[in-house]
Amino acid sequence: MKSKNLLLLLVFTLSIAILVPSAVVSAADDDKLVVYHWWTAGGEKEAIDAVFDLYNTVYPDIEIAENPVSGGGGGIMRSKIKTMIMAGNAPDTFQITYGSGMLESWVSVLQPIDDIWDELPVPEKIKEMGTIDGHQYGIPLNIMRNNCLWYNKDLVEELGIEIPLTSWDELYAACKKAKEAGYIPYAVGAGSGQEFWLASQIFQSFVLSAPHGGPAYLEKLYNGQANPSEDKAIREALGAIKHMIGEGYINSDYAALTWDKAADLLVSDKAVFYQMGDWAKGHLTAVGWKSGVDFNYQPSPGTEGVFSLHLDCFVFPQGAPHPTSAKKWLHLLRTAEAETVFCPIKGATPPRLDAFTDMYDVISQDILKDFRDPETTIVESAFAGPPEAWLDVFGRMFSSFFENPDVDQGVKNFANAYKSLNW
């Protein structure tokens, strides 16, 4: 009987132990930093680890509890953070895409960090992108240029295509040449319906270069001020995509390839061009290609002088359990040293105008040159300019359009999708 009672006691104790929230058990302190990020792939993982090492060197007494969550371009991690915050279990800091729409979507659960931001030497536009109701909420760590057209140097040479292509007509002519020679002219990867949000960045490169488009229109579009059913730029951009699909310039299995698999078409000499943000460089070099030797990039045709971008930043959520550690982390991230430790390994470029540049490869140097050129027009990208829901809503919309590129129906669907967002 005694052993029976003991067993009962054990069952009871276990059930209580399961039900007691872990937060109650572990006392709060400032010797820890709970970080969430989505850098898990080769290159980016080593990059963020280097920043952690730097933090540990400066603050050896603070233990870093790192939580990498891969998938969905950060979407999976953001979902996790949402549930954590709603459950009152916020981390100390987490990664988020830096841009006005994305930050606006998150601002209700963030704390302003104006004192940490204080005179960060970045272009005025970057500051403006992160300012919500007069306050700053995120410390950017790296920039990502979106309007990049990557190309296989050997194939471009073989086909006698003159780079840079500066208009849609030149792009079409180059694609025609590539197709006639038996190559895939313009590789696209939209991963089994999962990654169709990438179509948004293809579309935006066409909006930027559309006769009635351009950076000012794109800004209006991402601010909720556009009228897509009437605006000519939407019809023109969708028409351009229709042309690319209709002429067979895009690989027919685009929906079965992830973005990196589409980039591999360049590496395997099957495709000539590839429209993707500059994170593609990290992948291309990771598979053994040499920057500027095997491949190169140019601004998407018709977008010269424009720099479509988003950044990665870290934020300071309300209810962060170790606020002092979090602030120390953000203070570290704002330094040129942190950017210098991080960006070259990731294959990215630093947002600070005074960050060192010697260690970057030829492509990053070129991207940096454009970024720092006061004549360049910086415009927000689809990844953070519009509200967070944009990628999902428009991913679906473009998924339908790519399969059935009917421009009239596309404009209608675009307008409906646009209306469905809470501006």
Which residues are near other proteins by CB under 8 A? 1, 4-5, 8, 11-12, 14-15, 18-19, 75, 78-79, 82, 85-86, 105-106, 108-109, 191-194, 196, 252-253, 255-256, 388-389, 391-393, 396, 399-400, 402-404, 422
Min CB(335)–other proteins separation in Å: 29
Min CB(241)–other proteins separation in Å: 15
Min CB(122)–other proteins separation in Å: 26
CB-CB contact of 240 with 246 (8 Å): no
Q: Based on C-alpha coordinates, what's the Rg of the chain?
A: 23
CB-CB contact of 139 with 117 (8 Å): yes
Min CB(202)–other proteins separation in Å: 16
CB-CB contact of 178 with 184 (8 Å): yes
Instruction: Tell me the three state secondary structure of residue 202.
Output: helix
Q: Which is nearer to other proteins, 75 or 248 (CB)?
A: 75
Q: Which is nearer to other proteins, 90 or 332 (CB)?
A: 90
Instruction: Tell me the three state secondary structure of residue 141.
Output: strand
Q: Which is nearer to other proteins, 75 or 164 (CB)?
A: 75
Min CB(16)–other proteins separation in Å: 9
Min CB(96)–other proteins separation in Å: 12
Half-sphere exposure of 412 (CA within 13 A, CB side): 6
- Return the closest-CA partner of residue 98 out of 108, 106, 90, 88: 106
CA 181 distance to own-chain centroid? 34
Separation of alpha carbons 123 and 108, rounded Å? 26
Q: Which is nearer to other proteins, 257 or 306 (CB)?
A: 257
Min CB(165)–other proteins separation in Å: 27
Q: Which is nearer to other proteins, 193 or 305 (CB)?
A: 193
Q: Which is nearer to other proteins, 222 or 402 (CB)?
A: 402
Asked if the peptide bond before residue 405 counts as cis, ω within 30 degrees of 0, the response is: no
Min CB(109)–other proteins separation in Å: 5
Q: Which is nearer to other proteins, 195 or 278 (CB)?
A: 195
Q: Which is nearer to other proteins, 199 or 240 (CB)?
A: 199
- Return the closest-CA partner of residue 275 out of 168, 417, 386: 168
Identity at 83, one-letter amino acid code: T
- What tokens were used for 345? 């390994």
CB-CB contact of 233 with 308 (8 Å): no
What does the CA dihedral 196, 202, 204, 205 come to, rounded to 10 degrees?
170
DSSP-assigned states of every residue in 314-369:
EE-BTT-S-HHHHHHHHHHHTSHHHHHHHHHHHT-B-S-TTS--TTS-HHHHHHHH
